[in-house]
Amino acid sequence: MKKIVSFLIVLIFFFSCAVLTKSADDASVKENIDTVSGSKNNTNNIVIDSNMVRKHLYTLAADNMEGRKSGTPGIEKAAVYIEDEFKKIGLSTFGDLESYRQTFTFKNRKSKDDIISSNIIGVLEGKSKKDEYVIISAHYDHLGMKKSGAGDLIYNGANDDASGVTGVLALAAYFKKVGHERTIVFAAFTAEEMGLIGSTYFGKDIDAAKFVAGINLEMIGKTPSFGPNTAWLTGFERSDFGKIIQKNLKGSGYQLFPDPYKNFNLFFRSDNASLARLGVPSHTFSTTPIDIDPDYHQVSDEAETLNITVITQTIQAVAIGTESIINGEDTPTRVILEGTNKGT
């Protein structure tokens, strides 16, 4: 009888240890999921799948995309990939478009050739404020390929701007899952590298008054000069958009700073500018220390040079920071352009 009692005591002991171990493991997993804040009790459980981030990035920046120059077979492959992802997520088409493509013809400013290309646009209709729009965008074009030479000839454009398009796709999947009050437009713009042509074309036919904010993602794959868990925002002083983001990020462990590279005129060099010129508080999030980045517009801008954790955490931070805008709780002031350099 004593042997049976002893055996039961040992059995209970091992069972208790197993339960405690599993509880500790579960707690560890929950803590690791919260990659932005590092806090065990953070209520902002914004979870972005880093494996999906890697898949999007490496696909869009692959050699078979041939640098994604507008008007080439390479960018067509990228367009098809983005369309397929929009369809998987369940986005609807924009306005009167019959597909996700907004196709148009423009003239190459250098060669004077006509180029046919497409913006890829999808929509998640809002609930209580469906007539108020927030646009989340990035450009999916890049520089293409060198015409001749030895070695690597492909401008893969991993950071510029496959990283941003990855963010657009990840945020579309996220907001489809969690819901939103305002309508969200997700746009992958073409021909940014040729002079913001795709976003300018998009802006021609919209009612800008209905667009309450623009969230543009550009080069979010490297650790900023401010350190880990940070990003910077162009045109910070031109509306209170950035202050709203900062307010929402309090306690998250992630910080947003004003653009530190004022001499680069970056506010007018990305697609946010096309909507900002229409009065929309449209700003660009970035993480890259552009003043010292050795890969900017080089064939060395490869997916392997980027930090998947930085991209994932930045996407999570954008989701947290913009939540009150997307749900209609905050409305940024209209953008201020007067007395500033409006050139590209």
Question: Considering only CA atoms, which of 156, 134, 285, 121 is closest in space to residue 218?
Answer: 285
Per-residue pLDDT, 23: 38
Question: Considering only CA atoms, which of 170, 199, 194 is closest in space to residue 272?
Answer: 199
Compute, in degrees rounded to 10, the torsion defined by CA atoms 189, 204, 267, 166.
-20
Compute, in degrees rounded to 10, the torsion defined by CA atoms 307, 312, 313, 318.
130
* Other Cβ atoms closer than 10 A to 106: 20
Question: Considering only CA atoms, which of 241, 267, 258, 266 is closest in space to residue 321?
Answer: 241
Q: Which tokens sit at 12?
A: 């209970």
Give the distance, in angstroms, between the CA of residue 256 and the centroid of all CA atoms in the same chain: 15
Give the 3-state DSSP-derived string for 264-327, with helices as H, strands as E and coil as C. HCHHHCCCHHHHHCCCCCEEEEECCCCCCCCCCCCCCCCHHHCCHHHHHHHHHHHHHHHHHHHC
Q: Could you tell me which residues come within 8 angstroms of residue 28 by beta carbon, excluding any fewer than 6 positions away? A: none
Per-residue pLDDT, 12: 42
d(CA 239, CA 320): 19
d(CA 335, CA 210): 14
d(CA 168, CA 217): 8
φ, ψ at 51 (rounded to 5°):
-65, -40
- Name the 3-class secondary structure at 220: coil
Strands (E), 110-195: 114-124, 129-139, 182-189
Per-residue pLDDT, 340: 52
Q: How many CA atoms lie within 13 A of 189 on its CB side?
A: 32
How would you label 319-328 residue by residue, b for 16+ Cβ within 10 Å and e otherwise?
bbbbbebbbb
* Other Cβ atoms closer than 10 A to 11: 10
Q: Which tokens sit at 339?
A: 């007395």
Per-residue pLDDT, 47: 86
Per-residue pLDDT, 292: 97
Give the distance, in angstroms, between the CA of residue 184 and the centroid of all CA atoms in the same chain: 13
- pTM for this entry: 0.87
pLDDT tens across the length of the chain (344 residues): 444 444 444 444 444 444 334 333 333 333 333 445 443 334 346 789 999 999 999 999 999 999 999 999 999 999 999 999 999 999 999 999 999 999 999 999 888 899 999 999 999 999 999 999 999 999 999 999 999 999 999 999 999 999 999 999 999 999 999 999 999 999 999 999 999 999 999 999 999 999 999 999 999 999 999 999 999 999 999 999 999 999 999 999 999 999 999 999 999 999 999 999 999 999 999 999 999 999 999 999 999 999 999 999 999 999 999 999 999 999 999 999 975 554 43
